[in-house]
Amino acid sequence: MILFNDFEYESKKELTEFLNEIDSKNALMLIELSLIHASKHGAFDIDESYCIFMCLNKLKDTMLEKNFE
């Protein structure tokens, strides 16, 4: 099974286990994949996409500054 055309998992149990143990870095990566997928499928207009990805970049920069793993 594949989520967002990029994230593959074997079963719902595997996905649930992953999500229960997910760290900040992987959580942000999964959010980014979901937003890219939604954007490619026309979920947002250009201004909404810009806003979302600027906010995402801000979160990523903040994580790098604080050395979240």
4 in a domain, yes or no?
no
Cβ atoms 24, 67 nearer than 8 A: no
36 in a domain, yes or no?
yes
Residue 51's nearest CA partner among 59, 26, 28, 24 is 59
Domain residue limits at 56 = 12-66
45 in a domain, yes or no?
yes
Q: How far is CA 25 from CA 14, 20, 42, 43, 52, in A?
A: 19, 14, 26, 24, 18
62 in a domain, yes or no?
yes
pTM of the model: 0.74
21 in a domain, yes or no?
yes
Strand partners, 2: 8
Distance between CA 21 and CA 32 in Å, rounded?
Answer: 18
46 in a domain, yes or no?
yes
pLDDT along the chain (69 residues), means of 10: 84 92 88 90 92 91 75
